[in-house]
Structure formats: C-alpha cells, structure tokens
Amino acid sequence: MAILKIARMGHPVLARPAEPVADPTAPEIRAIVEDMVETMIDAPGTGLAAPQVHIPLRIVVFFVRKERCTEIPGDEPADLTVLINPELTPLSEEMDKGFEGCLSVPGMTGNVARYRRLRYAGYDLDGNRFEREAAGFHARVVQHECDHLDGILYPQRMDDLGELGFVEEMRKRQIS
C-alpha cells in the first residue's frame, strides 16, 4: 500500500481519456485500487479517479457519507465503492447545481450543474458487474469522478466561472 502523488489541473494525464481495464480481477488492478483508497482517505477526499494518480485506466473509488446526502429522493449514502469501466445513464433531463471540489484543483470550489438522477454500472474487483441508481449528491459524486475518465475537470462543466473561487473566499461569500 502506498499514498500516491495526485496530479493537479494542467497535467496532461487529467486531460485525456483513460483506457478500459481489460481484467478487473487482475492482481495489479487490486493493488492500484488499494493505493487509490489509501490516497483518497489520506487526502482526504470523497472520491478519486485513477488518472488523478497518474494511472490512465477507467477506475474510480468513492463513498457517500449520509451527512452529504440531499433531500432529493434516491440520494442514498454509499460505502466505499470501487467502480471499474463505469457506464452512466441519466434517468431524466433534470439538472441541479451544487458546489464541488476536486483533489486535482486544490483549494478551490465551483458551482456545477449535474444530472439529478442516473443509473451507473460497472465492475468490482471480483469481476462482477453491478448496477445502481442514484440521485442528488451521490449522483453528483459519480458524475464528477467518471468525468475524470474522459479528461474532464469540473470547471469545464461550469457555465459561469464567476461561481468558481477559492474555498476560503467562497465561504465568506456564503456567510455574507
């Protein structure tokens, strides 16, 4: 197990599509996932995608704490989830805005529109395909992490960069 270096916005590994994992059960994939989880917990972060640790493979890890879930029906907490070769399907056209941060864009936060509800599917480390439906914050986390696999960082999803700023400044703005 090791804590990996996190790539920051501007590094090319964050800007290009990641490759599908040929065999989710391969020992080297398990080792990558273990390091990703350790890195995410150390950071700390709520999710991490493999390109963020300079590994251009379609793997994300995340968890959803109950306190972060919204009132939107279907926004449920999730234990640590390993999602390999994910597929996302929005379940409606509805979008919600919410502030996001990213370990690759340290110190900053921005207001991003995401699909309110979606279905996601992928493989776990045993090679089993699983599928879930999610909404609200849970759906937001999945969209954010899976965007990393397509070389997209959250500022690229923003329609108003006036809503991007340093966390400390944005907190002051919310209080005033």
CB of 23 to Ni ion, least distance (A): 26
Scanning the structure block, which residue is given the tokens 């919410």? 98
Residue count, binding to Ni ion (CB under 5 A): 1
Judged on CB neighbours under 10 Å (0-12, 13-18, 19+), 168 is exposed
Which of the residues 95 through 154 are near Ni ion (CB under 5 A)? 102
DSSP state of 163: G
* Cβ neighbours of 102 (radius 10 Å): 25
Query: Cα-flanking dihedrals φ and ψ of residue 80, to 5°?
Result: -50, 125
Nearer to Ni ion by C-beta: 40 or 102?
A: 102
d(C-alpha 85, C-alpha 95), whole Å:
24
Nearer to Ni ion by C-beta: 21 or 142?
A: 142
Which of the residues 83 through 102 are near Ni ion (CB under 5 A)? 102
Nearer to Ni ion by C-beta: 25 or 68?
A: 68
Residues 98 and 111: beta-carbon distance below 8 Å:
yes
* Cβ neighbours of 116 (radius 10 Å): 22
DSSP state of 162: G
CB of 148 to Ni ion, least distance (A): 6
Residues 135 and 90: beta-carbon distance below 8 Å:
no
Catalytic annotation on 133?
A: no
Nearer to Ni ion by C-beta: 102 or 134?
A: 102
Residue among 93, 131, 145, 169 flagged as catalytic: 145
CB of 119 to Ni ion, least distance (A): 21
**Spacing of C-alpha 171 from chain mean position:** 22
CB of 127 to Ni ion, least distance (A): 26
Q: Which residues are catalytic?
A: 145
- Positions in the binding site for Ni ion (CB under 5 A): 102
